[in-house]
Every structure is written in structure tokens, then in C-alpha cells.
Amino acid sequence: MENLINKNILKIKPYEPGKPIEEVERELGLKNVIKLASNENPLGSSLKALAAIKRNLNTLNRYPDGNCFYLKNKLAKKLKLKPGNLIFGNGSDELIDVIIKTFVGLNEEVLTSKVSFVEYEIVSQANNRRFRALPLKNFKYDLMAIKMAIRKNTKAIFIANPNNPTGTYVNKRELEEFLKGLPKNLIVVLDEAYNEFVDVRDFPKSLDYINKNVIILRTFSKTYGLAGLRIGFAIAKPEFIECMNRVRQPFNVNLLAQAAALEAVDDAAFLSRSRKTILDGKMYLYNELEKLGFGYVCSVANFILVDVKQDCRIVFNKLLKQGVIIRPMAIYNLKNFIRVTIGTRKENIRFIKALKKVK
Ligand SMILES: Cc1ncc(COP(=O)(O)O)c(C=O)c1O
């Protein structure tokens, strides 16, 4: 059997998603389980997006618009870009794959940081591309070390900003210093999945850099509350987008996702409620964690990396038994850390109550 499988595939450690609520309820015989494990929007989805899904249910016999025409035009206008600057994907996950296939050749490498989004490595391996990751510095991407580590065959540098799972960010000055004088034959991907939650002034305005070899990734999964529909997008210069379009599947974004995203983009009230829920929840959690004597890493995203000062897998299991799903960070070698997604006020209170019991 091993002889039949591509060797690089055998090296892949499978992605471990957050445990689904239904699975935990089924396996542990629990009710009212809460999931704070996958950085989803705790408020649900925009009602306008849900209404659009219902309106479009009778057109599912048709293929979706492979070009996402209406969504592309609306979003371009909103971001003050040209439609040719945008490409949509089945979640931004898919676009990571499209980028690696489009830009990185077989003997070229993807460079990034350790303790960052695991898909960069999985997708590189699945495509048989080389992959290298440098250590974080104080839980942050060490851009200077990454710059120094660039080799002749380095073709794409992925920067999750804010970073998942640390919630830290690289600021405008650091990013500009990094971009200055980079070799012309590589691309920089700024993965901004959590962009809308950021509440600091020195966060880079990434759209200013797309005339350089920068590609920005964003998603409807987080602030827009549409993780289950799978839709994300990339922003780049039209020449890049045109080549990425050759690589993606022709009907990669389903019809309901396009219809919902078209409405979600305009639902400013839902976006601002989502943002406020996260920012308020973050303050509450910081405060409670401090009272409990746990350390944490300051986050500009909708999750917090918490130092629980004991084996995170034990904490994970003890919280699970109380119906609270979080993420243990042992896969990153952060043996005493968990990552908790900021939930509704009620969910945050429940998490803290459960955490008190495992202290
Ligand atoms: C940094 C980062 N990039 C990309 C993604 C993927 O998002 P999507 O749901 O759009 O595929 C995630 C999801 O958790 C993420 O944390």
C-alpha cells in the first residue's frame, strides 16, 4: 500500500479540526456543549445572508457563476479596487493551495513561521513543494529572521497577520522594513483571516502593498459568520489573479455562498455587533484569566492563547467533560497552552467557570 501513495503525502500530519459539538454530545452523553475551538463567529450569521440563501434554494439545479461576477464587483467597489484584483475560493484555505500551485515550482520553497496556520505546511507537502518554518520570537513572527533566511529557491513567504494561534501581529513599520529590498522573484502572502477584529492603530493597511509582490488573503468565515459555507478571497495585482484563475476549479465557490456573501458584505450592523462582542469578550476574559493567575498572549484576533500552567491535554479533557470545547496546543509543542475562541458573554462566563474547576 505504501508504494502506491506519493511519498510526500505519507509525511503529512493530518489537520486536526476543532471537535464538533455533535460529536462531543454523542460521545460524552452531554447536552448544551459549547464550542470555543475554531475561531468562529459566536453570533451566528447575518440574517440578510440567511435570507439570501433561502431565496436562492430553488436555483440549486444550476452551476454557480464561476466568475463570482456580482460579488466581485460589489467587493471591489467597497475596497476601492478593480474587480480584476479579486479571486474567490472555497474558503481562503483553497486559495492557499491555489497560490502554492500558481507560484511555487517543484524545487522551490514556501517559507513561514512555526506555530502558525498549519495549512501552509500541509498544502506545501500535499503539492510536493519544499517547506521551511522559523521559530517565533516572543510569540510573534520574526520577520527579520525570515528575511535573513531567504534562499535562492524561496518562492512564497506566508505571514498570518494576525497570527493563528498566537493572536499577535506584525505592525506597519515591521512589515515595511521586511518588504524593503526583498528579492523580486518571490511573493509575500499576508493572510488576514482575522483582519476585521483588529483594534490597534499600527496594523498595516495591506491594500497599500498590492502593487508589490504581495497577495492578501481574507475570508467570510470569521467576522462575517459564514464558516460553514466556505468562501474566502484573495487580493492581488490583476496579472497574479489571472494566473491564479487558471489553477482554481471552475466552479469552486458554490451558489449559496456567493448569494450569502453578497448580502453579508453590506450588513454593517452585524459586522459591528460581531466586532463589539469579540472586543468586550476579550476584556472580560483577560480580566478573569488574570484573577485566576493564568498567563495569556495579548491578541488582536477573536481567540486567546492561554498558559494554563499544566498539561493542556488534561485541561482539554477536563473542560470537555464540562461541555466546553477548546483547542489544546500540544501539536505546536506549547504543552501548557490552550487556545480559546472568544464567544458570547454567556459562553465566556461558562468557559471561565469550567476553567476554575480544572485549576
Ligand atoms: C490564519 C488563517 N488563515 C486561513 C484560515 C482559513 O479560513 P477559511 O475558513 O476561509 O478557509 C484560517 C482558519 O482558521 C486561519 O486561521
pLDDT single digits (tens) 198-230: 999 999 999 999 999 999 999 999 999 999 999
Mutate to test the pocket of ligand 1, among 16, 40, 87, 93 (most ligand atoms within 8 A of CB): 93
CATH code of residue 333: 3.90.1150.10
Check residue 273 and give its pLDDT: 97
Say whether both 325 and 180 belong to one domain. Answer: no
How far apart, in whole angstroms, are the C-alpha atoms of residue 64 and residue 259?
10
pLDDT band of residue 359 (cuts 50, 70, 90) is confident
Helices (H) and strands (E) in the chain, counts: 13, 13
Phi, then psi, of 229 in degrees rounded to 5? -85, -20
Q: 36 and 7: one domain?
A: yes
Instruction: Examine the pLDDT at 298 and tell me if it is beyond 90.
Output: yes
Ligand 1: list residues with CB < 6 Å.
39, 91-93, 117, 160, 164, 191, 193, 219, 221, 227, 232
Angle among Cα 351, 357, 359 to the nearest 5 degrees reads 100
Tally the domains of the chain. 2
**Kind of pairing between the strands at 337-341 and 303-307:** antiparallel
Of 266, 287, 303, at which residue does a domain stop?
A: 266
Q: What is the pLDDT of residue 97?
A: 98
Residue whose cell numbers read 469578550: 281
User: Looking at residues 258-278, what average pLDDT do you find?
Assistant: 97
Instruction: For residues 288 and 234, state if they share a domain.
Output: no
The pTM (predicted TM-score) of the whole model is 0.96
- Domain of 178? 47-266
User: Is the per-residue pLDDT at 2 higher than 80?
Assistant: no
User: Residue 92 CA: which ligand 1 atom is closest?
Assistant: 10
pLDDT at 14: 83
Domain C-terminal end among 218, 239, 266: 266
Rounded mean pLDDT of 27-44?
96
Kindly give the distance from the C-alpha atom of residue 17 to the centroid of ligand 1, in angstroms, as a whole number. Answer: 12
Q: Which of 92, 197, 302 has the most ligand 1 atoms within 8 A of CB, as the residue to mutate?
A: 92
